[in-house]
A and B are shown apart, each in its own frame.
Chain A
Amino acid sequence: MLEIKKIESGYDKLQILFGVNMKLDPNEIVVLIGPNGAGKSTVLKSVFNLANIYKGKIIYKNKDITRIPTHELIELGISFVPQGRQVFNTLTVKENLEMGAFLINEKDLVEKKINEVVEHFPDLKKKMNEFASNLSGGQQQMLAIARALMQDPQLLLLDEPSLGLSPKVMKDIFQKIVDINREGAAILIVEQNAKQAVKIADRIYVLEDGKIAMHGDKKILKHEKIKHIYLGGH
C-alpha cells in the first residue's frame, strides 16, 4: 500500500534521512521506533510532503506521491496526526472536526461525518461546543485523531500519539488505533514509547541515525539491543 524507497530528506539544508526503505501493507499496523533525533518524525513528514525530499520515491497504491501537495494526499486517503496533541485551541471541538473535513464541500456530508466519528469518542461528543483548549491532554489527542478520521483515511500516519499522556490514557489511545485499523485503515505509528506501541504492531522498523537499522515482526523485539535501548529492559 505504501512504499518508501531510499528516501533522503530533511529541512532545507539539514539532511535527516539517508536512504530509508519501508513498506506498509493494507490493514497493517507498522510501528517505527528509534532514539530521539533519529528522524522518525521526518519519515512521516516526508510521506506527507512537509519535509524536503532530496532523493528517493514514495509510492502509494502504485502511484508516485513524492512531493505532491498535502491537500492532494488527503484526497488520496492519507491523514496525518502530528506530534504533541495538535489541535486548534481557539476553535471548538466541533469546529476542529469541521476543519478535519476541510476538503469536503457538502455541508450535510460534513455533519454526517462528524456524527459518525464522534460515536467512537464519547468524551468528545459531550464537549462539542467547548474550546479545544479546555480539553484534557488525552481528550486533545483523541480530538487530533478524530480530526484525522474526518476524511476517511485509508492510511493514517501518527506521530508519537502517546507523548505526554498517562499510562491509562495511553492505553485508551492505542485501543482506539486498533479499532481504527480493524475498520480498514493501514496505520503507521512513530513512537518513542515503544513498549505500548509494539504491542499493537504487526511489524516493526527501527530507525537509527536516519537509516533503518532493523525491521521485522515482533520477533525482533527479542533482540538484546532492542530490548535494552527501546523497551527499557536492563
Chain B
Amino acid sequence: MVFDKYESQRLRMGSILPQLIVNGLIAGSIYALVASGFSLVYYVIKFLHFAHGAVLTISAYLFFVFLNVLGMNFVLALLLAIILAIALGLLINFVVYKPLRKRKSSNVVLLIISLTLLSFFTSFALAVFGSSTKTILLAQQNIIFDFGAIRFTIIQLAAFLLAIFLFFALWFIMKKTKLGKSMRALADNKDVAQVVGINPEKVYTYTFIIASFLAAIAGIIIGLDQNVFPRLGFNFIVKGFISSVVGGISSVPGAIVGGFFIGLAENLGIWVLPSGFKSVISFTILFIFLLFRPQGILGGKKDGI
C-alpha cells in the first residue's frame, strides 16, 4: 500500500514538473524585470533604490485606471502608464535623491529614505484605491495555450518574450551605445568619469528613465497576470532585491539570472512543499547566499554588465 501511495505521488509529480518549470520561468521573467532595473540603479548610482517598488505599484494602478476606469484603448493606456511611471521615477530622483546626494548623505540615509518612499506610495495607493484588489480586464486575457502537460496564458507568454527582448535591449544599450558606456564608466570610476567630461547627474537621469521603464513594464505585467493591490510593489521589490543579491548585487546580468533562479526555485520548491512556502524558499536561498556566497552567482565578475 505504502509503495502504491508513493508511486502515484511520483507519477503526479512527474506530470506537473513541466508546468512547474513553465511557472518558474514566468515568475522568473517578472522577478528578473523587477531586479534588472533595481540592480541597474545600484550598479550606476550605488544605492538600494527600494522606491523602485513604488513605481511598480503606481504603474499597475495607472494602467488599471486608464484601461478599465477611463476606458482608453490598450496601447494608449499602456503608453500613458509607462510615461507617468517614468515621470514618477524621475521625480523621486530629482526631488528626493538628488538633494541628498548633493548633501553627500550616507547610503544608510538613502536606504531609509527609499524605504520611506516605498511605504508612502503603498499607503497612497491604499488610501486612493482601497485595500481590495483590482482586476485588470482585458479581452485577450483569457487566451490560454494548452499543450496538455503545460498551459499558460497569452499574458504569461508575452511577459516571458518581452522580458527576454528587454534584457537583450538592455545589454545592447550598455555594451554598444555611448550612453551605456558612459553609465559603465561612471559605475566604474566616478572621478575619472568626471575628468573626461561625463556629467554624473545627467547619466543618473537616464539611469532612472531606463530603470523606471523596466519597472513600469513589470508592474503592468504583474497587474495583468495577477491583480493590482497596494502592496504589489512591496512584495515584488522584495523578490527583486533577493534576485539581485542572489545574482550578484552590482551585476545587471546577475540580477536577471537571479530572477530566473528565484522564480524557478520557488515553483520547483512547491513540488515538495505546500505552495504557501514560496517566499520561505526565496528567503532561505537569500540566507544561504548571504552566508556562503555573498557576492552572488555572477558577482565578482569584472564587468558589471
Interface residues, chain B, CB within 8 Å of chain A? 178, 181-182, 184-185, 187-189, 191-199, 302-305
CA distance A87 to B193 in the complex (A): 9
Are the C-beta atoms of B196 and A86 separated by less than 8 Å?
no
- B-side contacts of A133, CB under 8 Å: 302
Give me the 8 closest cross-chain CB pairs, A-B, nearest first: A71-B197, A88-B188, A103-B197, A74-B197, A86-B192, A90-B188, A102-B196, A99-B185
Give chain A nearest CB distance to B182 CB in angstroms.
7
* A99/B182 contact (C-beta < 8 A), A86-B192, A89-B302 known: yes
Given contacts A50-B194, A98-B181, A102-B182, contact A88 B189 (CB under 8 A): yes
Which listed residue, B192, B197, B303, touches A131 by the CB 8 Å rule? B303
A95 CB–B CB distance under 8 Å: yes
> CA separation between A90 and B304, bound complex, in Å?
7
Q: Taking the complex as formed, is A91 at the interface, i.e. its CB lies under 8 A from any CB of chain B?
A: yes
Chain B's interface: helix, strand, loop or mixed, by majority? helix
Instruction: Give the total of A residues in contact with B, Cβ under 8 Å.
Output: 23
Q: Which listed residue (A74, A86, A91, A103) contacts B184, Cβ 8 A?
A: A91
> How far, in angstroms, from A141 to B112 measured CA to CA in the complex?
40
Given contacts A82-B191, A86-B189, contact A102 B198 (CB under 8 A): yes
Q: How far is the CB of A188 from chain B (nearest CB, A)?
A: 15
Bound CA–CA A71/B198 (angstroms): 7
Bound complex: CA A82 to CA B191 (Å): 9
Our pick among B188, B191, B194, B197 for the contact of A91 (Cβ within 8 Å) is B188
A70, A75, A89, A91: the one contacting B181 at CB < 8 Å is A91
**CB neighbours of B198 from chain A (8 A):** 99, 102
Interface set of A (CB-CB < 8 Å, partner B): 48, 50, 70-71, 74-75, 80, 82, 86-91, 95, 98-100, 102-103, 131, 133, 147
| Chain B positions within 8 Å of A103 at CB level | 196-197
A91: which B residues are within 8 A, CB to CB?
181, 184-185, 188
Closest to A100 in B: B196
Alpha-carbon distance between A75 and B199 when the two chains are bound, in angstroms? 14
CA distance A98 to B175 in the complex (A): 13
Q: How far is the CA of A90 from the CA of B178 in the complex (A)?
A: 15
Of A50, A89, A90, A147, which one neighbours B196 at CB under 8 angstroms? A147
Query: With the chains together, A111 CA to B171 CA distance in Å?
Result: 22
Query: Can you report 24 A-B residue pairs in the complex whose CB atoms are below 8 A from each other?
Result: A48-B195, A71-B197, A74-B197, A75-B197, A82-B191, A82-B192, A86-B191, A88-B184, A88-B189, A88-B192, A88-B193, A90-B302, A90-B303, A90-B305, A95-B181, A95-B185, A98-B178, A99-B181, A99-B182, A99-B193, A100-B196, A102-B178, A103-B196, A103-B197
The residue from B187, B196, B304, B305 contacting A74, defined by CB atoms under 8 A apart: B196
Chain A residues with CB under 8 A of B192: 82, 86-88
Residues of B within 8 A of A102 (CB): 178, 182, 196-198
Say whether, besides A90-B304, A91-B184, A98-B181, A70 and B194 are in contact (CB < 8 Å).
Answer: yes
Known: A91-B181, A95-B181. Contact between A131 and B302, CB under 8 A?
Answer: yes
